[in-house]
């Protein structure tokens, strides 16, 4: 697989999602990329931290801002396995992230359903990258949890 493609970075996010699942967390993973370099990575940690805001996107935005030494991340691209919720979309907007790339849509909790205008107006969105693999991580996790 060639590096520096949406698929490459989404596979990195999938690795984070699988780490989340292994820890009993909802399998959402994210990486932040700037100048073709991953500057931060995270996965859901709501159970581990007992914090409902510890979503992968929130954690990776915080980490990336620390690495960049800036609160605005306009030159960065966020890759996340599942469409962000409204809370995370707000954080993405406040950070003015240049590009958001996500895998699977979230029909129940995704920002596009409840707040389609939540992102910064200049943020570019690309959806459906490795969508089936990202969705399968979620399906498998919840199927196993119900058993």
- Cα–Cα distance measured from residue 119 to residue 40, given in angstroms and rounded to the nearest whole number: 20
Catalytic sites, residue numbers:
57
Residues near 145 by beta carbon (within 8 Å), at least 6 away in sequence: none
Cα-based angle 23, 26, 28 (whole degrees, multiple of 5) = 100
């Amino acid at each position: 697989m060639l590096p520096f493609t949406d698929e490459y970075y989404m596979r990195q996010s999938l690795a984070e999602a699988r780490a989340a699942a292994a820890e009993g967390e909802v399998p959402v993973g994210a990486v932040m990329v700037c100048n073709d370099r991953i500057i931060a990575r995270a996965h859901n940690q709501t159970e581990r931290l007992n914090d409902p805001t510890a979503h992968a996107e929130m954690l990776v935005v915080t980490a990336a801002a620390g690495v960049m030494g800036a609160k605005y991340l306009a030159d960065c691209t966020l890759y996340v396995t599942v469409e962000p919720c409204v809370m995370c979309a707000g954080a993405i907007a406040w950070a003015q992230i240049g590009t958001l790339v996500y895998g699977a849509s979230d029909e129940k909790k995704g920002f596009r359903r409840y707040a389609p205008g939540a992102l910064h107006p200049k943020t570019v969105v690309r959806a459906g990258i490795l969508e089936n693999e990202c969705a399968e991580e979620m399906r498998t996790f919840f199927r196993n949890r119900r058993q």
